[in-house]
Amino acid sequence: MGQRGGIGSRPCLLVVDITYAFTGDRPEPILESVKRFPNSCGDVAWETLPRIAELIAAMRSRSLPVIYTRQAPRVNAVTAGAWARKNSRVLASAVVGVDPMQIPDVIAPDHGEIVIDKDKPSAFFGTTLLSYLNALRVDSIIIAGTSTSGCVRSSGVDAFSYNYPTVVVEDCCFDRSLTSHAVALFDLHSRYADVVRLDELLPMLGATGVSGASASR
């Protein structure tokens, strides 16, 4: 358990659920941010965004694909599904004038980059993600995003289940709870993925190829 599995020659970066719903629309302490964005992770999100932006830029500079996910709209109890049983504020009204599904400008998708709406934790469940990975000839997955213990973890487990070599970038993920963040990373590294820091990952990308299908769709 916990061996390094490595990365392929054509990885895809999966940027999981980094929207205003989980960051708030500005840096502020979590107890303030959740008053307007109930799922916000507060300051830790904004501390992490510059590193995610650096990772995205590194992928683009190597012509490697970047795919984003975000929470699908939950307009009623049916679309909220099982979330409504665990979160009494899941259908709370959005902040006036702010789209909670907007991806912050600092990491915003380039023209043509894929953005997938999902309504369950995993980026794979009930989405077209796998078909895009096949079309792009992806051979491994890099994951950044939020929350580490929820959507990042479940996406990592599903990537493992589809037999993709998977890397989770420790300092490009964040969570509302530092304990949950740490335990999720420990479990992922033990069983399902390589957990590395950004400064470890960037040299690994230097060995990857730049050929293959475009990430534009």
Catalytic residue among 12, 41, 151, 173: 151
Q: Is 145 exposed, middle or buried (0-12, 13-18, 19+ CB in 10 A)?
A: buried
Q: Is 145 left (phi over 0), alpha (psi -120 to 50) or beta?
A: left
| Two tokens, residue 19 | 């929207």
Catalogue the E-assigned strands of 51-119. Answer: 66-71, 114-118
Residues forming beta bridges with residue 168, ordered by sequence position = 143, 195
DSSP assignment of 101-122: TPPPGGGPPPTT-EEEEESSSS
CA angle 42, 114, 138 (to 5 degrees): 105
> Which CA distances in Å does 148 have to 77, 144, 217?
26, 9, 28
Paired sense of beta strands 140-146 and 166-174, if any: parallel
* 151 part of the active site: yes
CA dist 137 and 140 (Å) reads 9
- Residues tagged active-site: 151
